[in-house]
Each structure stands twice: as structure tokens, then as C-alpha cells.
């Protein structure tokens, strides 16, 4: 059996070889902080839903813990009556954690606020890099926080941890040199920017809708704005206060106002990150998802500002498009796709985000003064 120490060393070596881990001090922090100390021995799941149990299957448990995958540590906010089986807390994939911490450009003596303690592994890595007294972490879920505190203590780490809504930050410790979120947001909370010093970084996953997300390291300016280029695609659970309402989308079974047939696959581009990401913010106030239909796997689109909707599904060798409501939602998607193409089909890392002091979010291409789109924040 390969030991935990051997698996841990191999994982860190692979992160270095892939180029995800570069900073020597950060590498040392990863080597000093084994992941298995922060994964529950019972009750965790792989991303494929396999139940992990260190008591009955220790080798399978260790193999999963030291894979480069997320480990789900809570579903349905820990409420067994909900039965939706939706992941609500996890240990992120090591590659993603390394990428985020490298993007934070950590320096000796810096003070960091972490949003979302989760398992405690990221807080422990920060503490190993910067010192326990320089790390403050907040967590909204009391059960999750209790588990993290126990794991941190067992690992010999003692960053400050607080039960608190992450959207509010933690004012008593401000200003911070870095604010690092382990959850995704569509609206960067004002508190994060206000509690980060001028010239400091807010490092957060950002998404226009659940699914297609990017890493956003935003530099805080003297005027209270924060701005930066996106780096790399990733997916995180949304900050709990920014979750979409648990309501069905519009038009799943409604009669359409308009139907047409197209001869090219219009579903695939909206299910692939490279082509879907820019459309998610170029079209305002909407969401989408896959749905099995009679002719195969289709796509539904639903406005978040009213009862507009669209359905797209295979129709023989073609694709049927149906839409209804006051907005012609599919037409908006087509116009946005054409606009993206006219710009040269730029990759996601050519885009960036500026959050103004009045909380306006503006997406831009190449530079903050370049072509841009005011992001209409989703209704909740």
C-alpha cells in the first residue's frame, strides 16, 4: 500500500511539474500541509458520487484524497430532508487551489482574509505560508466550521476562524493585503473591496451564472474600485447568499410564440466553456441548462427578469429552436455569439472585470478602456 506521505509528495511533485506551483515558499507550504488531514474519514464523496470510507477502504480513500480532484464534504447544506443531493461544501482540486494561491502573489508578512473555511486545508496552506496570526478565515456553516477547526487543530495550525456570512468579510481585522474567496460570486461584495488595502488583491472565482466561471484577481484602487484580467476557467459553488432561487425555469412545457429549424448544431457551443463563457455575460439576466427531451438532449434558456424562455433540441438532422415571452432570448444569444465572433472569438483570459465604487460590474476585452459590457446582475 502506498503511504499517505508518498501520495502527498507525489501530488506536490505533479503540481510543480505541471507549472501550477512555482513559488518556493508556497511549495514549502504545500509540502508541510498534507491534504488527508482535512478530509473526513467518513461521509465524503468523490465528484462521481463514490462514497469514501477510510475505515473500510483506506487505500481507496487515500487514492481519492490525493487525486487531483475535488472531494465533496457536504451535500444539501447538511440537511438530510432536502434530498436534492447537491454539493454544498468541498475540498477543491489541488490544481485549482495552487492556481488561486499563485494568483494571490503572496508575500512575507501579508495579512489575508479567506472567505469560506470549508475543510480548512486552504486556511492551513495560507497559515503555513504566512504564519497563523496573519490568516483570518470566515465560514457561514457552523457544522463545516466545526470540522475545519478540528482538522486545523489536529494539523497544528491556528489561524483565526469565525462563524460569519462571507459576504460581509470580517471588519475587525481589516485592512487585509489579500482577500481570497473559496466560493464563486456573480457580484463581488463591496465589503471585500473595502476591507482590502489599496494595491491589495481580491482573488475570487467569478461567474455570470452557475457553471462557466473564471479566476478573477482584482487589484483595489484608491477610488474604491477593483479591476483585473481573468485567469483560467474553473467552477466553484456560489456564495450562499448569491445562489439562484430554487425555482423551475420558465417555459419548460409552454407553447412557443416562435418556432424555427436551423441546420447547424447550436447546442454544443453553449455547453463548451470557451464559447459559452463570453455569452453568459454578453446576454443579460438569464440562465441555462441541459434537459432530456423526446428527441435527445436539449438546452433550455430562462430569463431571470421575467417570463421569457427558449428551448433548443435535436430535430432529425437539424435543430429546433422555440422561444416565448417578452424577450426573444434566443435572438439575444445569436446576436451575442455574432458579436463575439466579430471580435475575433477571443479566449476568456483576454477578458477582465472592473467593479466600480457604486458596485457596477463592467466586463471588458483586453483593457479596462476596451470594448465592454455592463453586467446586469441576476435577480434573486
3-state secondary structure 359-371: CCEEEEECCCCCC
**Where does residue 251 fall: left (phi above 0), alpha (psi -120 to 50 degrees), or beta otherwise?**
left
Comparing CA positions, the residue from 244, 291, 248, 249 lying closest to residue 267 is 291
Residues 104 and 152 in one domain: yes
Three state DSSP letters for 228-273 = EECEEEECCCECHHHCCCCCCCCCCCCCCCEEEEECCCCCHHHCCH
Domain that holds residue 219: 4-239
Comparing CA positions, the residue from 183, 186, 187, 192 lying closest to residue 220 is 192
User: What CATH code is carried by the domain that includes residue 114?
Assistant: 3.40.50.150
Are the beta carbons of 329 and 303 closer than 8 angstroms?
yes
Residues 14 and 111 in one domain: yes
pLDDT at 293 (0 to 100)? 80
| DSSP-derived 3-state class of residue 314 | strand
> Hey, how many other C-beta atoms are within 10 angstroms of the C-beta on 45?
19
18 catalytic per annotation = no
Domains: count for the chain = 2
Residues 18 and 147 in one domain: yes
| DSSP-derived 3-state class of residue 328 | coil
Residues 32 and 163 in one domain: yes
Residues 282 and 332 in one domain: yes
Task: Report the DSSP pairing between strands 226-229 and 213-220.
Answer: antiparallel
User: What CATH code is carried by the domain that includes residue 314?
Assistant: 3.30.160
Query: Which cell is 370 given?
Result: 476596451
Domain assignment present for 93: yes
Three state DSSP letters for 9-34 = HHHHHHHHHCCCCCCHHHHHHHHCCC
pLDDT at 157 (0 to 100)? 98
- In the chain, alpha helices (H): 4-17, 24-31, 58-65, 94-103, 121-130, 142-154, 190-194, 273-282, 329-342
Looking at the whole model, is its pTM more than 0.85?
A: yes
Please state, in angstroms and rounded to a whole number, the distance separating the CA atoms of residues 185 and 216: 10
Buried b (16+ CB within 10 A) or exposed e, 62-92: bebbbbebbbbbbbeeeeeeeeeeebbbbbb
Sequential pLDDT tens for the chain (380 residues):
799 999 999 999 999 999 999 999 999 999 999 999 999 999 999 999 999 999 999 999 999 999 999 999 988 877 777 777 788 799 999 999 999 999 999 999 999 999 999 999 999 999 999 999 999 999 999 999 999 999 999 999 999 999 999 999 999 999 999 999 999 999 999 999 999 999 999 999 999 987 779 999 999 999 999 999 999 888 888 999 988 776 677 777 789 999 999 999 999 998 899 889 999 999 999 989 888 887 888 899 999 888 999 999 999 899 999 999 999 999 999 999 999 999 999 999 999 999 999 999 999 999 999 999 999 765 54
Domain assignment present for 369: no
Residues 278 and 215 in one domain: no
Residues 133 and 34 in one domain: yes
Which one is catalytic: 89, 90, 91, 92? 92
Q: Give 295's DSSP letter.
A: T
Q: Give 81's DSSP letter.
A: T
Amino acid at each position: 500500500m502506498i503511504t499517505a506521505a508518498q501520495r502527498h509528495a507525489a501530488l506536490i511533485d505533479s503540481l510543480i511539474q505541471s507549472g501550477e506551483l512555482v513559488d518556493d515558499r508556497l511549495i514549502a507550504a504545500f509540502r508541510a500541509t498534507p491534504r488527508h488531514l482535512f478530509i473526513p474519514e467518513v461521509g465524503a464523496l468523490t465528484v462521481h458520487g463514490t462514497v469514501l470510507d477510510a475505515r473500510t477502504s483506506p487505500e481507496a480513500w487515500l487514492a481519492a484524497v490525493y487525486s487531483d480532484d475535488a472531494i465533496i464534504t457536504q451535500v444539501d447544506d447538511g440537511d438530510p430532508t432536502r434530498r436534492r443531493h447537491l454539493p454544498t461544501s468541498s475540498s477543491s482540486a489541488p490544481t485549482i487551489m495552487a492556481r488561486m494561491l499563485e494568483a494571490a502573489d503572496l508575500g512575507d508578512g501579508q495579512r489575508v482574509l479567506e472567505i469560506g473555511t470549508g475543510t480548512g486545508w486552504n486556511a492551513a496552506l495560507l497559515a503555513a505560508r504566512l504564519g497563523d496570526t496573519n490568516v483570518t478565515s470566515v465560514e457561514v456553516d457552523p457544522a463545516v466550521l466545526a470540522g475545519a477547526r478540528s482538522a486545523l487543530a489536529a494539523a497544528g495550525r491556528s489561524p483565526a476562524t469565525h462563524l460569519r456570512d462571507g459576504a460581509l468579510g470580517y471588519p475587525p481585522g481589516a485592512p487585509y493585503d489579500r482577500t481570497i474567496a473559496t466560493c464563486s460570486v456573480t457580484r463581488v461584495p463591496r465589503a471585500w473591496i473595502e476591507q482590502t488595502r489599496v494595491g491589495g488583491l481580491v482573488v475570487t472565482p467569478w461567474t455570470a451564472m452557475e457553471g462557466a466561471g473564471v479566476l478573477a484577481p482584482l487589484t483595489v484602487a484608491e477610488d474604491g474600485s477593483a479591476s483585473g484580467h481573468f485567469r483560467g476557467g474553473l467552477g466553484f459553488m456560489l456564495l450562499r447568499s448569491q445562489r439562484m432561487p430554487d425555482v423551475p425555469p420558465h417555459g419548460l412545457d409552454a407553447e412557443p410564440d416562435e418556432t424555427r429549424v436551423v441546420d447547424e448544431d447550436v447546442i454544443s457551443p453553449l455547453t463548451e466553456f470557451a464559447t459559452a463563457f463570453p455569452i453568459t455575460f454578453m446576454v443579460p439576466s438569464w440562465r441555462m441548462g441541459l434537459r432530456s427531451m423526446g428527441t435527445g438532449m436539449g438546452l433550455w434558456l430562462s430569463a431571470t427578469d421575467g417570463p421569457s424562455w427558449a428551448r433548443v433540441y435535436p430535430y432529425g438532422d437539424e435543430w429546433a429552436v422555440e422561444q416565448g415571452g417578452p424577450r426573444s432570448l434566443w435572438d439575444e444569444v445569436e446576436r451575442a455569439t455574432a458579436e463575439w465572433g466579430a471580435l475575433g472569438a477571443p479566449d476568456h483570459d483576454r477578458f477582465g472585470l472592473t467593479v466600480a465604487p457604486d458596485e457596477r460590474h463592467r466586463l471588458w476585452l483586453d483593457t479596462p478602456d476596451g470594448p465592454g459590457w455592463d453586467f446586469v446582475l441576476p435577480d434573486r
